[in-house]
Homo-oligomer: A and B are copies of this chain.
Amino acid sequence: MATTTTKTGQPLDRPQLDSLLRRRLFFTPAFEVYGGVSGLYDYGPPGCSLQANIIDTWRKHFVLEEDMLEVDCTMLTPHEVLRTSGHVDKFADWMCKDPKTGEIFRADHLVEEVLESRLKSDKEARGQKVEVDEEKEAKKKRKTKDTKAIKLDDAVAQEYEEILAKIDNYGGDELGLLITKYNIKNPTTGGDVLPPVAFNLMFQTSIGPSSNLAGYLRPETAQGQFLTFQKLLEFNQQSMPFASACIGKSFRNEISPRAGLLRVREFLMAEIEHYVDPEGGKKHPRFHEVKNVNVGLLDRKVQLSGRTEVTHMTIGEAVASGTVDSETLGYFIARIYLFLVRIGVDPKKMRFRQHMANEMAHYAADCWDAEIQTSYGWIECVGCADRSAYDLTVHSKKTGAPLCVRETRSEPLHIEEWQVDLDKKKFGPKFKKDGKTVEAAVDALTQDMREKLSVSLAQTGKIQVDVPGVGDGKVEIEKDLVKIEKRTKIEHTREYTPNVIEPAFGIGRILYSLLEHVYWSREGSEERGVLSFPPPIAPTKVLLVPLSGHSDFKPLVGRLSQKLRQLGISNRVDDSSASIGKRYSRNDELGTPLGITVDFQSVKDNTFTLRDRDSTKQVRSDEDTICAAIRSLVEGQKTWADVQEELPEFTQQETD
């Protein structure tokens, strides 16, 4: 794995970043004073504000921009709904238990860990350099026993490599066979493990006092959205296409959570369900607006050939060449890209990877993940799946609710078809108890068969139909009982189940990846970390720093703070006795993009210096001008370069 880098291209020192994030309370293990619960994290003030700003931007970028119908559905979900959706049966991982110690392993992780450790040992025995894969190291919960370097047969080493390449594709039985065949044990104790059993990843509970209504915490927000489809379509005045959106927590009872915010048990999602007519190639009315957006794609074919090179092309080219299946899928890939760049993700550390056929969730027809490169490897942060008509169909079938679109055809549809009329009065007496069965067999005849039978009827005066279970399986019907004619049917309405394109965002993963991308440290003083959030995303926008504790500064600082607050701009005052440099350093770590220094000149003429976090450059102007500049920076209308061009630079005062 290539070393990941900071925003400024230096090697990323993750422990140093982690320490910053802990120190500044971006997030923290939940219930830490009780020893913590793995996979559960709390967001502290800067993390919480960052999350709120990402969500706010998401809402503007997607919901407001496209008039999506936002809904807020419950997390508690009854068993029946998730059984129909397939989650009760299929939303599971395989786990193995060590019966002696009671330890539980995720079966694929266990196989992976043991084989990798053997390969590493083999390399050592061969005197080869061992590359440490940080992602994999981070995944390990426990230290494996220090083993002596043992050389493997070349063929065995080869087998191990092949298994590891396919590790995501094995089912429970196959994992069990691998464990037996390769004698895989508990890495800590060397003890045997039991065969893998499926562990459903949903948190179960019971709703109401009688405990006979089983429920789960939702694994995705999607199901609630699907079940309100009919009401939303009506709200949208029956107009297609449209999208619903939902922002909320989902849950996944991971067997062994790891890698910090990247694999947790409770997480914030933002999901869009875009409903589209499956006919006509899933066009999108606004595709032209994004067709020139250039994205990095890693398609299925490249992966199948064992390679991982990303191909850069415009989304227009990708759709035209068939790499991306439809305009609608392509439209959302481009919109996801623009969103991620807007909040500060480095476009050079982003790619869209197509799922392999056997890797997709049970409901997906096609899927592209927006993956972001971090020190844990390429992390799936947004899934963009074509769920086809899967969900609406299964729920409709189960409940009888019409989860479909009925459209009046602009022109009635004329359908030429062979119709069969049976003379019911004579039919019953003749076939008696078999009447219904014969009738059903006739109704099920294809158009081709009907045409052939009409010929036979005209020629022989009777037809012969296959009816399994009646007599010898063939039934003859005379012409006095049956008529076959070609007629024209006129359909005025069209009924169809829309397909769903679903961009699903894991906000916690995006947030963590973003932290890695905006992190860097000042040249020459590596301990001075900076988080260069774009101003609209930054947790706090402005730091107010009085030069000293002098009483003249207090009213000015108070007035400025209130004024900014009224403009909706979050700001903090640091009037501690630390040096100005120290106070700015602290806020560099918090990612505060702007600072105002209040000095003696301010008291005299109501002018202030405004400092840019990234360049540490300063400009100076009067209160109103400074506030206007801040507002335009925070709302994303201007950059610091614009402001620096407009306002006089200020260099007198040493701030570092």
Contacts and interface: CB of A to CB of B under 8 A. Distances in A.
B28 A231 contact: yes
Contacts of A640: none
B266 A74 contact: yes
Contacts of A15: none
* Interface-central residue, A38, A204, A249, by most chain B CB under 10 Å: A249
Contacts of A231: 25, 28, 44
A64 B33 contact: no
A72 B251 CA distance: 15
Interface string A218-230: 0000001001101
A454 interface: no
B209 A104 contact: yes
A contact face: mostly helix, strand, loop, or mixed: mixed
Interface in A199-255: 199, 203-210, 213, 215, 217, 224, 227-228, 230-232, 234-235, 237, 248-249, 251, 253-255
B565 A65 contact: yes
Given A76-B37, A209-B253, A253-B208, A43 B71 contact: yes
A64 B570 contact: yes
A204 B211 CA distance: 11
A615 interface: no
Contact of A207 (B59, B230, B265): B265
B265 A76 contact: yes
A455 B70 CA distance: 80
Contacts of A204: 205-206
Quickly give the copy total for this chain.
2
B48 A70 contact: yes
Given A71-B42, A205-B217, A401-B33, A76 B235 contact: no
A173 interface: no
Contacts of A77: 31
Contacts of A227: 30-34
* Interface-central residue, A210, A401, A572, by most chain B CB under 10 Å: A210
Contact of A42 (B67, B210, B228, B572): B228
Contacts of A215: 37
A80 interface: yes
Contacts of A48: 70-72
A75 interface: yes
A248 B266 CA distance: 13
A69 interface: yes
Interface string A420-433: 00000000000000
Given A65-B565, A72-B48, A237 B31 contact: no
A424 B237 CA distance: 89
A199 B77 CA distance: 21
Interface string A1-44: 00000000000000000000000110010111110011111111
A423 to B, nearest CB: 41
Interface in A542-583: 565, 568, 570, 572, 576
B31 A81 contact: yes
A45 to B, nearest CB: 4
A294 interface: no
Contacts of A70: 45, 48-49, 52
A95 interface: yes
Interface string A91-105: 000010000001010
B41 A74 contact: yes
Contact of A199 (B74, B203, B209, B403): B209
A531 to B, nearest CB: 16
A51 interface: yes
Contacts of A237: 576
A144 to B, nearest CB: 21
A559 to B, nearest CB: 15
B42 A102 contact: no
Contacts of A254: 208
B73 A42 contact: yes
A73 B249 contact: no
Sort A-B residue pairs by CB-CB distance and give the 5 closest, nearest first: A33-B401, A43-B72, A45-B69, A203-B205, A42-B73
Interface of A: 24-25, 28, 30-34, 37-45, 47-49, 51-52, 59-60, 64-65, 67, 69-78, 80-81, 95, 102, 104, 199, 203-210, 213, 215, 217, 224, 227-228, 230-232, 234-235, 237, 248-249, 251, 253-255, 265-266, 395, 399, 401, 403, 565, 568, 570, 572, 576
30 contacts: A31-B77, A31-B224, A31-B227, A33-B227, A33-B230, A33-B399, A34-B78, A34-B81, A34-B399, A37-B76, A38-B208, A39-B208, A40-B74, A42-B224, A44-B71, A44-B228, A44-B235, A45-B69, A45-B70, A47-B72, A60-B568, A65-B565, A67-B572, A75-B249, A75-B266, A76-B266, A104-B209, A199-B209, A207-B265, A248-B249
Given A31-B77, A65-B565, A76-B203, 13 more contacts: A30-B74, A34-B78, A37-B207, A45-B71, A45-B232, A47-B72, A60-B568, A75-B266, A102-B210, A204-B205, A205-B205, A208-B253, A208-B254
